[in-house]
Copies of this chain bind each other. A is one copy, B any other.
Amino acid sequence: MAPVKNGRHLFNEVPVGYPVPGKTTVYDESQTIDLETVPLNGGILIKTLSFSIDPYMRGRMRAATKKSYSPPYAIGEPLGNHGVGVVLRSENTSFKARDHVWAFLPFQEYVVQTDVAHVKLLENKENIPWSNYVGAAGMPGQTAYLGWKIFSKAKKGETVFVTTGAGPVGSIVAQLAKLGGLKVIASAGSDEKVEFMKKIGVDIAFNYKTTDTVKVLEEHGPIDIYWDNVGGATLEAALDAANPYARFIECGMISQYNQTSPYGVKTLMNIVGKRLSLNGFIVSDHMTPENVKEFYDTIPAMIAKGELVFLEDKKYGLDKVGEAILDVQSGKNHGKSVIVVAEE
């Protein structure tokens, strides 16, 4: 068989402020691959199906000299993130052709993966859509499930405030909180998202662009748990609205990722007076075999039964990665942002 195009989406330059599609990142079709003869060196050949586009990716679009928790993307190389693929060929006994897998993969149509230590075989007994495995049944779902389990110390009857409540993490947190008997206040950036949050059971759903967060929390708080995906002025308001001994789960600060000058939070005195605890949280720290097993034993079944509801915002083709990233950074996506590279 002749070589085929292996489309890739590359990191092109470090952005200042919001990333610009076609400038910060570019789609490239210069490479080809021979699917039958490409050497596997004991590994597997994966055809990628779906990629996750996540807020944290902005943090990797930085100068290589700047330290952070995740490594920077390399200029001229493909972006990468968690994705689902199907095995085309295998030289490893743990995988065979037609298996579906979940792994951290470069943004390209075909990937030869020699190190398969972190490639997870997806059984999908529940027969949910493969794209779910980069969302509610993937890293964002694990973030919501494990962060809530480990840090919330939630008690029935308490009140939680969830930011980005229509997003892939926030919407799962909100539903887990409702299942636990909590009152849920949740914010998002459009009326459409507010409608979705109401549908999944959020008690107080509001559009932070048209409704004052401070007033909502004054009226419907105080809060015992704050799930922070946004930081900045919202975190400032949550600190003022916290009950004594409230727990703050610091999962992300997307309002700050594209700011050249970060917002100064003025309400930190509440931490002492109210004995608050704030815990920074990155899901990869907690992906122990026990936690991961518990997650996959629990969440896909809940999705299949309709106990967890979520939205996916699918874009088709690796050439759409730049737009998808900008949508996520600016809050224009409706639900979990997924790049569909191929249906099967």
Number of copies: 2
Number of contact residues on A: which range applies? 20 to 34
Distance in angstroms between the alpha carbons of A276 and B228 in the assembled complex? 14
Rounded to whole Å, the gap between the CB of A194 and the closest CB of chain B is 26
Encoded as 1 (CB less than 8 Å from any B CB) or 0, chain A from 244 to 288 comes to 100000111100100001111111111111111111111001000
Give me the interface of A with B, judged by CB distance under 8 Å: 59, 68-69, 231, 235, 244, 250-253, 256, 261-282, 285
Distance in angstroms between the alpha carbons of A267 and B268 in the assembled complex? 12
Rounded to whole Å, the gap between the CB of A179 and the closest CB of chain B is 26
Distance in angstroms between the alpha carbons of A285 and B235 in the assembled complex? 25
Distance in angstroms between the alpha carbons of A273 and B11 in the assembled complex? 21
Which among B59, B244, B272 is the interface contact of A281 at CB below 8 angstroms?
B272
A268-B235 in contact (CB<8A): yes
What 7 additional pairs, Cβ within 8 angstroms, besides A264-B264, A278-B278?
Answer: A69-B275, A231-B268, A231-B272, A253-B272, A262-B266, A272-B281, A275-B282
Which among B244, B267, B279 is the interface contact of A69 at CB below 8 angstroms?
B244
Distance in angstroms between the alpha carbons of A191 and B55 in the assembled complex? 47
Rounded to whole Å, the gap between the CB of A244 and the closest CB of chain B is 7
Closest to A68 in B: B273
A59 contacts which chain B residues (CB < 8 A)? Answer: 273
A252 contacts which chain B residues (CB < 8 A)? Answer: 272
A262-B253 in contact (CB<8A): no
A275 contacts which chain B residues (CB < 8 A)? Answer: 69, 279-282, 285
Rounded to whole Å, the gap between the CB of A318 and the closest CB of chain B is 28
**A to B CB contacts below 8 Å, 18 in the list:** A59-B273, A69-B273, A69-B275, A235-B268, A253-B268, A253-B272, A256-B269, A265-B265, A265-B266, A272-B281, A272-B282, A273-B280, A273-B282, A274-B280, A275-B279, A275-B282, A275-B285, A276-B279
A256 contacts which chain B residues (CB < 8 A)? Answer: 268-269
A271-B250 in contact (CB<8A): yes
